[in-house]
Amino acid sequence: MTPPPELLLAWLLSGVRITALCMAAPVFAHTGVPVRVRVAFAMVTASALAPALPAPPLALGDSAVTIAGAVAGEAAAGLALGFAARLVFDAIGLLGGFVSVQGGLGAASVIDPASGAATTALSALLETVAVLIWLAIEGPAALLRGLRASFDALPLGGGGPDTGSWLALARLGAACFTIAVQLAAPVTVAMLLANLALGFVGRALPEVNLMALQLPAHVLLLLALLWLGATPIGDALADVLSGWTATAVVPGVP
């Protein structure tokens, strides 16, 4: 039996939004996930959601320009939602960059397989830990709930996010920098105290070569802080990830 045109159009538009989400969201957008798998997941999810969604204010007989505009709007909505969910992982990567530079590991760079860009080894480690924590706290389920809520905030065929949504997304980007600075604050204070201690050592023992002592001391201190603070760091990352889900994902639209 041929499905009603309204259901077919709802399935098409919702599939576009979900596909765009999978191209930008954490884990789903990883290069290790084939595009065919993302598209198949989007179509299956759209098949489950489409019957419960309001019919879009369009018809299959509308002009190609109207249909193309609706598709572009749905793609923009999906990308915005996925990018909003991804921002917190970028903040954690930024945290790793801050800590690496202060701890003397800034030169230890690797290629991030997810983005193909160079990043510090500590950033890659923290992002991997964050993904594992995100999976443990059912982050993908929260992301799907946010996706469902986005259809209430932005109905199908409504033209995509408005100006206020894009401004809210920009504010989320500013919040990422705040998160990175707050999480890096303990290490920053520790490194400042270490530099002060080395300064006193240099004044008391002028014959000590501080240039040769400073880098190993910073690296050892950073490794000690990471070892001693493994549990607090994990708890902090879990709080940030769960709080970010409530802020950026659950409402459905940034």
For residue 220, is it within any domain? yes
pLDDT number for residue 253: 42
Looking at the structure of the chain, the number of domains it has is: 1
Query: Cα–Cα–Cα angle for 207, 211, 217, nearest 5°?
Result: 100
Classify residue 53: in a domain, yes or no.
yes
pLDDT digit string, tens, across residues 155-195: 887 766 767 777 777 777 777 888 888 888 888 888 888 87
Domain that holds residue 231: 5-249
Q: What is the pLDDT of residue 249?
A: 56
Does 131 score more than 70 pLDDT? yes
Contacts of 157 (CB under 8 A, 6+ apart): 9, 13, 56, 57, 58, 70, 73, 74
Q: Establish if 83 belongs to a structural domain.
A: yes
141-158 mean pLDDT: 81
pTM for this one? 0.78
Longest dimension (CA), the chain: 89
Residue 55 lies in a domain: yes
Confidence of residue 254 (pLDDT cuts 50, 70, 90): very low
Question: Does residue 199 fall inside a structural domain?
Answer: yes
Orientation of helix 230-244 relative to helix 121-136, angle to 10°: 60
Mean pLDDT of the chain: 78
Q: Over 50: is that where the pLDDT of 102 sits?
A: yes
Most confident range (mean pLDDT) of 22-26, 68-72, 111-115, 175-179 is 22-26
Q: Percentage of the chain surpassing pLDDT 90?
A: 0
Give the pairing type, strands 118-120 and 109-111. Answer: antiparallel
The C-alpha atoms of residue 229 and residue 223 are separated, in whole angstroms, by: 10
pLDDT for 239: 84
Domain for residue 254, yes or no?
Answer: no
